[in-house]
Amino acid sequence: AQSVTQPDIHITVSEGASLELRCNYSYGATPYLFWYVQSPGQGLQLLLKYFSGDTLVQGIKGFEAEFKRSQSSFNLRKPSVHWSDAAEYFCAVVGESGTYKYIFGTGTRLKVLA
Amino acid sequence: EPEVTQTPSHQVTQMGQEVILRCVPISNHLYFYWYRQILGQKVEFLVSFYNNEISEKSEIFDDQFSVERPDGSNFTLKIRSTKLEDSAMYFCASRRVNEKLFFGSGTQLSVL
């Protein structure tokens, strides 16, 4: 069965520091992978997606993610974090049913220190 | 960028009451979804809807839940008799063929 694991529940970084959020997936074929961000009281905003092609994907707000098939990973990175990046981040994979059912990870809550 | 609109943003109800959560998907989208997120937990799939019928539903989506597209623009989720454990943020989403999901900002349902 498809699954997504985000090993880090909480991460704290200082403003200006680099960031990497981990995501591992379990999927039988080439996955469609996504990163969403949820600010407090807000909905889910898509940061970036991977369908095929270049394994390094650029997203909004300066984020990027790299698809590594050999490691079943799709880690999210940002070279320099801003205080406004504090939020919860969800990795998701599209399920195998063909109906675009997204399977979400449990999320990583990012705290940014001034 | 076009948006999925959900109303209300916050709904409070008594246990056992019926609630209807409303969504206006993006106008040229064909596939519609409801997800929910219980506080502190991950976002969970509830149901997908296409061509005026449910195409897939999760085990969470029991007989207390129903969805409807009553006209050409709205997509609703009804919970017939709410339980305390139905308290969650409910997200509506829509998409076109082979494209990503657009999520609404959610309705926070509080069952007292």
DSSP for A51-71, please give it.
-SS-SEEE-GGG-EEEEEGGG
Minimum-distance CB partner of B56 among A42, A46, A99: A99
pLDDT band for position A98 (cuts 50, 70, 90): low
- In a 3-state reduction of DSSP, which class is residue B89? strand
B35/A102 Cβ within 8 A: yes
A-chain residues within 8 Å CB-CB of B50? 99
What is each CA distance from B20 to A69, B53, B90, B110, in whole angstroms? Answer: 42, 18, 11, 13
B100/A49 Cβ within 8 A: yes
Minimum-distance CB partner of B91 among A44, A100, A103: A44
B65 touches chain A (CB under 8 A): no
Q: What's the pLDDT tens digit per position in A16-37?
A: 999 999 999 987 777 889 999 9
pLDDT at residue B98 greater than cutoff 80: no
For residue B31, give the nearest of B13, B11, B47 by alpha carbon. B47
A79: tokens are 């070279």
B103/A44 Cβ within 8 A: yes
Minimum-distance CB partner of B42 among A45, A100, A105: A105
B-chain residues within 8 Å CB-CB of A60? none
Instruction: Name, in order, each residue with C-beta under 8 angstroms of B57's C-beta and a sequence gap of 6 or more.
Output: B46, B47, B48
pLDDT band for position A97 (cuts 50, 70, 90): low
A34: tokens are 């996504």
> Distance between CA atoms of B101 and B98, rounded to whole angstroms?
9
pLDDT, position B3? 86
Q: What's the pLDDT tens digit per position in A54-72?
A: 899 999 999 999 999 999 9
Number of DSSP helices (H) and strands (E) in chain A, helices first = 0, 12
pLDDT, position A109? 95
pLDDT at residue B97 greater than cutoff 70: yes
pLDDT, position A31? 83
A100/B101 Cβ within 8 A: yes
**Which comes out higher in pLDDT, residue B47 or B3?**
B47
> Distance between CA atoms of A11 and A74, rounded to whole angstroms?
17
Average pLDDT, chain B: 92
pLDDT band for position A99 (cuts 50, 70, 90): low
